[in-house]
Amino acid sequence: MEGYRAGLSYCNEASEKDFIAIDQKKIHRVFANIMRNAIEYVEPPLKVHMSFTADKKYVHFCMGDNGPGIPENELSQIFQSFYRIDKSRSRDKGGSGLGLAICKSIIEAHGGQIQAYNSVSGGLGIKFSLPKVKR
């Protein structure tokens, strides 16, 4: 991975009054799994954009990359255990197909939702929402 070129940008529109209750290690794993997928499947230079917004009930996290995206008919399936877009990839070329399934499990255990989309720039985006709590 020496010399890998990547950029990260973010936009935070959530307020410091928007609170969520999380298991920090597990949510860290969600971010790490999504980022690991971007690094694995996007040719350099990788560009990842993150945004944080909130409404009355949820804080929303979006992470999108500049990769090739995936076929629309497979977007909902990528959260299934062992599901892989490119069935010919061997384990040494990618993971086991568990990363996004683990993300879904963690987000749902927190009372949230997760979904995938192809961004307008063509890459894959993952959005997850976690319920706000009163403080």
Q: What is the DSSP letter of 120?
A: T
Q: Could you please report the per-residue DSSP string of 76-113?
A: GGGGSTT--SSTT--GGGS--S-HHHHHHHHHHHTT-E
Class of domain 21-133: alpha beta
Q: Which two tokens stand for residue 58?
A: 């949820």
3-state helix, strand, coil in the chain (%, to 5): 30, 30, 40
C-alpha Rg value of the chain to the nearest Å:
15
Domain assignments of the chain as residue spans, ordered by start: 21-133
- pLDDT tens-digit map of 46-70: 999 999 999 999 999 999 999 999 9
pTM, two decimal places: 0.88
- pLDDT tens-digit map of 10-30: 999 999 999 999 999 999 999
